[in-house]
Structure 1
Amino acid sequence: MPIAYNNRELSWLEFNQRVLNEGLRSDLPLLERVKFLAITASNLDEFFQVRVGGLMLMRRSGRKTPDLSGLTPLQQIQAIRRRVQKMIDDQYRLLSDELLPSLHAAGIHPMNVGDLDAVQSDQVSAYFHTNVFPLLTPLAVDEDGVPPLVPALQLTVACKLIDEESKEIRYVLIPIPDNLNRRIPVTNSSGGHAFVLLEQVVAAHAGNMFPGEKVAATGCFRVTRNGDIAVQEEDAIDLAGEMEDVLAARKLSDTVRLELQVPLTRDLTRIIQHVCQASPQEIYRINGPLGLAAFMDLAFLPDFDHLRDQEWPPQQSSSITPGESLFEAIDRRDVLLHHPYESFEPVLRLIEEAADDPHVLSIKQVLYRTAKQSRVIDGLIRAAENGKHVTVLVELKARFDEARNLHRAEELQRAGAQIVYGVKGLKTHAKICLIIRREAGRIRRYVHLGTGNYNESTARLYTDISLLTCRPEYGADASLFFNAVTGRSKLLRFQRLVPAPNTMKPKLLELIASEAERARQGEPARILAKVNSLQDPEIIAALYEASNAGVEILLNVRGICCLKPGGKKRAKNIRVISIIDRYLEHTRVFYFHQGGDPEIYISSADWMSRNLDRRVELMIPIEDSQARRQVLKILETYFKDTRQASLILPDGTSVRIEPEKGKKTFRAQEYFFRQARRAAKAREHERAMILEPHVPSD
Structure 2
Amino acid sequence: MKHEKKESLYFNSEMSWLAFNERVYAASQNALYPILERTRFLGIAANNLDEFYMVRLGRLYKTHQLKQNRKSVDGLAMDQLMPIVKNRAMEQIAHHVQQWRSLRKELGTHSVNIISPKELSEEDKKWLEDYFIKNIFPVLTPMAIDPAHPVPQIPSRGISMVVQLQDKDQMSPVYAFIPLPMGLDRFIQLHGEEDRYIFIEQVITLFLHKLFSNHIILAQGLFRLIRNAEMSLQYSTSDFRMDFEEALAQRLNGEVVQLAVNARMPEHLRLYVTEQFDVNPNDMLVIDGVLGINDVQQLVSICGKKELLFPDFIPRTPQRIRNNNDDIFEAVKIKDIVVHHPYESFEVILMFLKQAAKDKNVISIKQTLYRTGDNSPVVAALIDAAKAGKSVTALVEIRARFDEEANIKWTKDLEQAGVHVIYGIVGLKTHAKLCLIVRKEAGGLKTYTHFGTGNYNAKTARVYTDLSLLTADPKLCYEAACIFNYMTGYSRIDKFDDVGVAPFTLRANLLELIENEIKFAKNGMPAVVWAKMNSLTDPTLIDALYKASNAGVKIFLIVRGMCCLRPGIPKFSENISVKSIVGRFLEHARIFCFGNGDLLPSTTAKVFISSADWMPRNLDTRLELMVNISNQTVHQQILQQIMFANLNDTANSWKLMPDGTYTPLFRELDDFDAHQFFIHNTSLSGSGMGPYPVTPNLISFERES
Q: TM-score range by the shorter chain?
A: over 0.9
Secondary structure of the 2:176 match is: strand
One-letter amino acid matched to 1:300: S
Q: Residues 62-116 of structure 1, C-alpha deviation per residue, up to 9 Å, x if partnerless?
A: 11111111122232221111111221222122111x2111111111111122331
Cα offsets for 1:161-217 (capped at 9, x unmatched): 1223434311111001110111112135xx421121111122222221122211122
Q: Partner amino acid for 2:233? A: V
- Residues 212-253 of structure 1, C-alpha deviations (whole Å, 9 max, x = no match): 2111221111110000114224x3421111111111111101
Identify unmatched segments of 5+ residues in structure 1. Answer: 687-698
Matches within 5 A, 1:505-524: 505-524=507-526
Indicate the residue corresponding to 1:206 in structure 2.
208
Correspondence for 1:534 among 519, 522, 536:
536
In structure 2, distance between residues paired with 1:267 and 1:492: 64
Q: Which residue of 1 aligns with 2:471?
A: 469
State how far apart, in whole Å, the 1-side matches of 2:577 and 2:143 are. Answer: 55
Tell me the CA shift for residue 642 of structure 1: 1.6
Which position in structure 1 is the counterpart of 2:675? 669
Decide which moves more: 307-316 or 276-285: 276-285
Distance 1:683 1:122 in 2: 65
Query: 1:676: how far off?
Result: 2.4
Which residue does 2:630 correspond to in 1? 623
Partner of 1:645: 653
Determine if contact 1:109/1:195 at 8 Å carries over to the other structure. yes
1:284 match:
285
Cα–Cα, structure 1 residues 658 and 132, in superposed 2: closer, same or farther, change >3 Å? closer
Work out whether residues 368 and 395 of structure 2, in 8 Å CA contact, stay in contact via their aligned partners in 1: yes
| Structure 1 counterpart SS, 2:161 | strand
Select 2:46's aligned residue among 23, 38, 41. 41
Partner residue of 2:86?
Answer: 81
* CA distance in structure 1 between the partners assigned to 2:558 and 2:95 by the alignment: 26
**Offset of residue 672 of structure 1:** 1.3
Quick one: distance in 1 between partners of 2:109 and 2:388? 57
- Would the aligned equivalents of 1:56 and 1:73 in 2 still touch at CA under 8 Å? no
CA distance in 2, matches of 1:477, 1:431: 14
Aligned to 2:12: 7
The structural deviation recorded for 1:598 is 1.2
CA distance in 2, matches of 1:327, 1:384: 20
Alignment-derived partner of residue 269 in structure 1 = 270
Q: Percent identity?
A: 38
- Could you say what secondary structure the match of 1:166 adopts? coil
Aligned-partner Cα distance in 2 for 1:146–1:410: 35
> Residue 144 of structure 2 aligns with which residue?
140
Map Cα deviations across residues 486-518 of structure 1 (whole Å, 9 max, x no partner).
103322142321111000000001111111121
What is the aligned length? 680
Q: Which residue of 1 aligns with 2:386?
A: 384
Q: Which residue of 2 aligns with 1:487?
A: 489
Tell me what 1:242 maps to.
243
Contact 1:223 1:259 in 2 (8 A): yes
Q: Tell me if structure 1 keeps the 8 A contact 2:521–2:551.
A: yes
Q: CA deviation at 1:659?
A: 5.3
The 3-state SS of whatever aligns with 1:171 is: strand
Q: Does 1:158 align with 2:162?
A: yes
- Structure 1 residues 228 and 168: alpha-carbon distance in aligned structure 2, compared to 1, 3 A threshold: same
Structure 2 unaligned regions, length at least 5 = 599-603, 693-705
Question: Is contact 1:464-1:587 (8 Å) kept?
Answer: yes
Q: Which amino acid aligns with 1:636?
A: F
After superposition, residues 391-410 of structure 1 pair within 5 angstroms as: 391-410=393-412
Trace 1:589-604 onto structure 2 (pairs within 5 A): 589-596=591-598, 597-604=604-611
In structure 1, distance between residues paired with 2:373 and 2:62:
32
Greater mean alpha carbon deviation, residues 47-56 or residues 272-281: 272-281
Contact 1:157–1:203 (8 Å) recurs in 2: no
CA contact (8 A) 1:22 1:33 kept: yes
Deviation per CA, 1:507-554, whole angstroms, max 9, x where unpaired? 001111111121111111000000000000000000000000010000
Matching of residues 58-69 of structure 1 within 5 Å: 58-69=63-74
The match for 1:692 is: none
CA distance in structure 2 between the partners assigned to 1:487 and 1:652 by the alignment: 45
Q: What's the RMSD between the two structures over aligned residues?
A: 1.9
Q: Distance in 2 between matches of 1:23 and 1:609?
A: 32
TM-score (norm 2): 0.94
For 1:380-415, what per-residue CA distance to the aligned partner results, in whole angstroms no more than 9, with x for missing partners?
001000100000000011111010001011111000
SS of match in other structure, 1:319: helix
What SS class does the counterpart of residue 181 from structure 2 fall into? coil
Tell me if structure 2 keeps the 8 A contact 1:318–1:679: no
- Distance, in Å, in 2 between the alignment partners of 1:349 and 1:230 is 39
CA change 1:89–1:324 in 2 (3 A) is: closer
Give the Cα–Cα distance (whole angstroms) in 2 for the partners of residues 409 and 81 of structure 1. 38
Alpha-carbon contact 2:337-2:685 (below 8 Å) kept: no
Question: Conserved in 1, the CA contact under 8 Å of 2:156 and 2:226?
Answer: yes
After TM superposition, give the deviation of residue 626 of structure 1 in Å: 0.8
- Give me the whole-angstrom Cα distance separating, in 2, the residues matched to 1:483 and 1:536: 29
Q: Secondary structure at the match of 1:300?
A: helix
Matched to 2:628, the amino acid is P
Paired with 2:534 and 2:328, the residues of 1 have a C-alpha distance of: 30
Q: State the 1:678 CA deviation.
A: 11
